[in-house]
């Protein structure tokens, strides 16, 4: 029973809905996954792609084996053939959905639109799950062949990124830049120069972004960089301004993968998930990933591609479907995603471990 109270100017009326709703549902277009992965439409749910001999075009053991003297038979280069292997994939279909009764929809009128809220929510769920799957794939060293190493190995013993210094006498001098320079050198070498620094981007977590933004190395770069003033005053557009980082470093665009995932069920008391327990950033803080994405967001099926992360999808790519169910007086909303993530070109990227 409600508590009795005396009439006053503040309680003698029925509250009216303002129409304002507080919700933290992310626009799927704002997910950073779109900046380092490439989408490729597959004509079938099951397909294959070919991995061709990466050394073939640059394999020159001796000059003599190609020599052809006048009057001699043309060299029979039967040994000069490329190896190849087929890799298969299967697109897995997923459905993210909700069901709302007609009465629930009608009774919410004037306060918020439950259909729109839930529709936006399941779109975000779909992108969150896709991002999580891609990051797990990228953070697994066994997927990278030889293209993974610790920061300390790559920078020649100058340590992790958390102590990166700007003083030439420091044992951690330019630890970040030295790491990135060596990783890029290895990528260019492993791809026979087909992938250049212009195709690459650096993916890090918000935690690692915070750590390196506080180092002397990055602060000295911002202080001495010709664009530093614009970044400090807001005169230069910078998607990394939340983290105190420049938009690029060592000629690599920096992408802070800030997608959040909640891994617990709703609580009966309505309490939100606990920060850093069951509400975390998807990307871990210990590693950084260099990815290539040659071309735009959409790739062509069957065409050669040097993009590190490829998402093959069949028919459905975040497809929104809604169904009225008059018999049961309810509405069913859905988002269908039919895809498979592939680390197709590991030599065109690098997993940097032990960053902090």
Which fold, 28-51+84-353? Answer: phage-related protein like fold (3.90.1690)
Segment 135-168, tens digit of pLDDT:
999 999 999 999 999 999 999 999 999 999 999 9
User: pTM for the whole thing?
Assistant: 0.84
Q: In whole angstroms, give the CA distance from residue 268 to residue 256.
A: 34
pLDDT recorded at residue 260: 96
Q: Quote the mean pLDDT of the chain.
A: 85
For residue 336, pLDDT over 60 is answered with yes
Question: Exposed, middle or buried: residue 98 (CB in 10 Å: 0-12, 13-18, 19+)?
Answer: middle
For residue 303, pLDDT over 70 is answered with no
Segment 224-283, tens digit of pLDDT:
876 665 655 556 666 677 888 989 999 999 999 999 999 999 888 889 999 999 999 999
Give helix then strand counts, H and E, for the chain: 8, 16
Indicate the DSSP class of residue 89.
Answer: E
For residue 173, pLDDT over 90 is answered with yes
Instruction: Calculate mean pLDDT across residues 170-197.
Output: 96
pLDDT recorded at residue 296: 61
pLDDT recorded at residue 19: 41
Name which of 322, 308, 317, 348 is nearest 35 in CA terms.
308
* Percent of all residues in the chain with a pLDDT value above 90, rounded to a whole number: 55
Q: Which residue has the tokens 């529709």?
A: 119
pLDDT recorded at residue 338: 94
Segment 48-95, tens digit of pLDDT:
776 667 777 777 888 888 888 888 888 887 777 777 677 788 999 999
Question: Exposed, middle or buried: residue 135 (CB in 10 Å: 0-12, 13-18, 19+)?
Answer: buried
pLDDT recorded at residue 25: 47
Helical segments of the chain, H only: 33-36, 102-107, 114-138, 151-154, 175-190, 206-213, 216-224, 228-233
pLDDT recorded at residue 65: 81
Q: Which of 99-103, 176-180, 233-237, 270-274 has the highest mean pLDDT?
A: 176-180
pLDDT recorded at residue 228: 62
pLDDT recorded at residue 50: 67
Segment 282-299, tens digit of pLDDT:
999 999 999 998 766 566
pLDDT recorded at residue 242: 80
For residue 190, pLDDT over 60 is answered with yes
The answer to which of 10-24, 207-221, 296-310 has the lowest mean pLDDT is 10-24
Q: In whole angstroms, give the CA distance from residue 38 to residue 305.
A: 10
Segment 195-229, tens digit of pLDDT:
999 999 999 999 999 999 999 999 999 888 766 65
pLDDT tier, 308 (very low <50, low <70, confident <90, very high otherwise): very high
Higher pLDDT, 114 or 17: 114
Domain ranges of the chain: 28-51+84-353
For residue 10, pLDDT over 70 is answered with no
Higher pLDDT, 304 or 225: 225
The structure tokens listed for 265 are: 């069920």
pLDDT tier, 7 (very low <50, low <70, confident <90, very high otherwise): very low
């Amino acid at each position: 029973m409600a508590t009795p109270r005396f009439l006053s100017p503040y309680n003698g009326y029925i509250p009216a809905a303002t129409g304002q709703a507080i919700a933290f549902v992310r626009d799927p277009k704002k997910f950073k996954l779109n900046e380092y992965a490439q989408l490729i439409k597959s004509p079938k749910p099951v397909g294959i792609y070919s991995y061709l001999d990466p050394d073939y075009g640059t394999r020159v053991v001796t000059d003599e084996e190609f020599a052809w003297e006048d009057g001699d038979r043309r060299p029979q280069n039967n040994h000069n053939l490329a190896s190849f292997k087929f890799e298969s994939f299967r697109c897995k279909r997923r459905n993210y959905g909700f069901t709302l009764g007609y009465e629930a929809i009608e009774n919410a009128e004037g306060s918020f639109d439950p259909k729109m809220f839930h529709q936006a929510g399941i779109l975000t769920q779909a992108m969150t799950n896709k991002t999580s799957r891609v990051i797990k794939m990228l953070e697994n060293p066994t997927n990278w062949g030889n293209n993974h190493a610790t920061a300390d190995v790559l920078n020649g013993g100058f340590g992790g990124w958390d102590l990166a210094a700007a003083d030439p006498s420091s044992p951690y001098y330019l630890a970040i830049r030295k790491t990135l320079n060596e990783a890029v050198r290895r990528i260019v070498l492993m791809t026979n120069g087909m992938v250049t620094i212009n195709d690459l981007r650096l993916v890090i977590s918000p935690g690692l972004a915070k750590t390196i933004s506080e180092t002397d190395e990055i602060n000295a770069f911002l202080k001495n960089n010709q664009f530093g003033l614009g970044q400090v005053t807001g005169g230069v557009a910078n998607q990394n301004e939340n983290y105190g980082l420049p938009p690029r470093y060592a000629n690599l665009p920096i992408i802070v993968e800030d997608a959040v995932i909640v891994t617990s069920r709703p609580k009966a008391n309505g309490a939100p998930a606990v920060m850093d327990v069951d509400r975390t950033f998807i990307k871990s803080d210990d590693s950084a990933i260099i990815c290539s994405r040659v071309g735009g967001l959409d790739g062509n099926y069957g065409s050669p591609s040097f993009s590190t992360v490829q998402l093959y999808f069949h028919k459905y790519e975040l497809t929104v479907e809604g169904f009225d169910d008059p018999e049961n007086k309810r509405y069913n909303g859905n988002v269908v995603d039919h895809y498979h993530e592939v680390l197709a070109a590991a030599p065109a990227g690098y997993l940097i471990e032990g960053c902090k």
